Amino acid sequence: MGERRVRDDLNSEKLLRAGETCWRMARADRAAFLVDTEAYFTAVFDALQKARRSVLLLGWGFDPRTRLFPDGYDGPDDPDEVGRILVELACARPELDVRLLIWRSALPIAAQQEFFPHKARKFFKNTPVKFRLDDQVPFGACHHQKVLVIDDRVAFCGGGDISVDRWDTPGHRDDDPRRIMPDQEYHAPRHEVMMLVDGPAAKALGDLARARWAKSTGEVLPEPIDAGGDPWPEHVPPALFGVDVAIARTVPMWKAQPEVDEIRQLTLASIAAAKETIYLENQYFTSPLITEALAARLAEPDGPQVVLISTGHAPSWFDHLTMDRARGAMIWRLRSADIFGRFRAFWPATHKGETIIVHSKTSVIDDRVVRVGSANLNNRSGGFDTECELAVESDDTEVRAAIGAFRDRLAGHFMGVTGDAVAKARADFGGLIGAIDALNRDGRLRPIEPPKVTAFGEFVAQYHLGDPQDPRDSWNPARRRERLYAAVRDMQMLGGPAAIASLDK
Domain boundaries, the chain: 2-17+243-498, 30-234
Q: Which residues pair with 99 in a beta bridge?
A: 56, 130
CA–CA gap between residue 105 and residue 227 (Å, rounded)? 35
Please state the rounded mean pLDDT for residues 364-387: 98
Predicted confidence at residue 499, as pLDDT, reads 54
Q: How many CB atoms lie within 10 A of CB 227?
A: 13
- The domain 2-17+243-498 is placed in CATH, from the list 3.40.190.10, 3.40.50.300, 1.10.3720.10, 3.30.870.10, at 3.30.870.10
First-last CA distance in the chain: 30
Question: Can you tell me the distance from the alpha carbon of 360 to that of 372, in angstroms, rounded to the nearest whole number?
Answer: 8
Residue 74 has pLDDT above 90, yes or no: no
Whole-angstrom distance, CA of residue 373 vs CA of residue 389: 4
Helix (H, G, I), strand (E, B) or coil at 264: helix
Lowest mean per-residue pLDDT among 163-167, 211-215, 397-401, 463-467: 463-467
**Topology at the third CATH level for domain 30-234:** Endonuclease; Chain A (3.30.870)
Say what the pLDDT of residue 12 is: 53
Count how many Cα atoms sit within 13 Å of the Cα of residue 93 in the half-sphere of its side chain.
17
Radius of gyration of the chain (CA): 22
Residue 22 has pLDDT above 80, yes or no: yes
pLDDT tens string 82-139:
999 999 999 999 999 999 999 998 877 777 777 778 889 999 999 999 999 999 999 9
Give yes or no for residue 4 having a pLDDT over 70: no
Does 30-234 match 2-17+243-498 at the fold level? yes
User: Band of the pLDDT at 492, cuts 50, 70, 90?
Assistant: confident
pLDDT in tens, 237-293: 999 999 999 999 999 999 999 999 999 999 999 999 999 999 999 999 999 999 999
Q: What is the pLDDT of residue 407?
A: 98
DSSP result, 284-340: -B--HHHHHHHHHHHTSTT--EEEEE--SS-SSHHHHHHHHHHHHHHHHHHHHH-TT
Instruction: Read off the pLDDT of each residue in 374-403 and give the average, rounded to a whole number.
Output: 98
pLDDT of residue 503: 45
pTM of the model: 0.94
Report how far residue 209's alpha carbon sits from residue 221's, in angstroms, rounded to the nearest whole number.
Answer: 10
- For residue range 278-336, list pLDDT tens digits in order: 999 999 999 999 999 999 999 999 999 999 999 998 777 777 777 888 999 999 999 99
Q: Place 5 in a pLDDT band, splitting at 50, 70 and 90.
A: very low
* Rounded distance between C-alpha atoms, residue 283 and residue 276, angstroms: 23
If one compares 3 and 75, the residue with the highest pLDDT of the two is 75
Segment 50-65, tens digit of pLDDT: 999 999 999 999 999 9
Q: Are the C-beta atoms of 311 and 190 separated by less than 8 Å?
A: no
